[in-house]
Structure 1
Amino acid sequence: MMTPLSHPTTAAERLYNESQIRTRNCIERCFGVWKRRFPVLSIGIRLSQDTTMAVIIACGILHNIARQNKDADPPEEEHCNVGDPNENLMEAYDPIPETQGGAFMRSSLIRDYFGRL
């Protein structure tokens, strides 16, 4: 996964960061729905790695079946803060050290896609 830039300087870099952060917000909300629907995902799984992967895949399949059958998403807990979608999440972001190849791919994407907008 590509990471946001710590200090964007150009318009293309700012657009890239905004796009990355908005996408991350959407994915985090999806993970929240899964964790509410399948509590085992939020309390932790004490199984082998292969079995854990099977449990996560099964949760995904069951979630899709529930959505196809128009089953409502589980309600949000009262203490759960969703937050403002326009909030700057860079403050809470702890980046994973990136490889040289990853930095090159990110720079290419910013130049070739976001630089044209």
Structure 2
Amino acid sequence: MKGVSGRASGCGGGDKEEEKEEMKEEELEEEDEEEAENHNLSGREEIVSTTTTTTMTTTTTTTTTTITATTTTTTTITTTTITTVSSFLMFSNSNITLTLLSGVHVLCKQEYII
């Protein structure tokens, strides 16, 4: 019985060992691939340049306000008076004396500029 069980355990153990060997081979292959990639990368020189462009915008606002106020007011008042004198009238102002007789038309015009 020992021999039979030994064989059975031996067969079973052999399968596990084969699996372990296969896993080791796969791991070695992966490591070899990684080393090859690293070796290839180490032979290359990669130049990485970064360019940063900064745009400065200056805004100048010029406000010119011109206020021109010209106000000219000219008011002319004109008064015209026509008087018919039917009787004797004497008009006196400062040094001027006017003597009016009946039936004479007098025209007086006054102008005021304000």
- Report the TM-score range of the alignment, normalised by the length of the smaller protein: under 0.3
TM-score scaled to structure 1, two decimals? 0.25
Between structure 1 and structure 2, the one with the greater Rg is 2
TM-score scaled to structure 2, two decimals? 0.26
Higher strand share: 2
Higher relative contact order (CA 8 A, sep 6+): 1
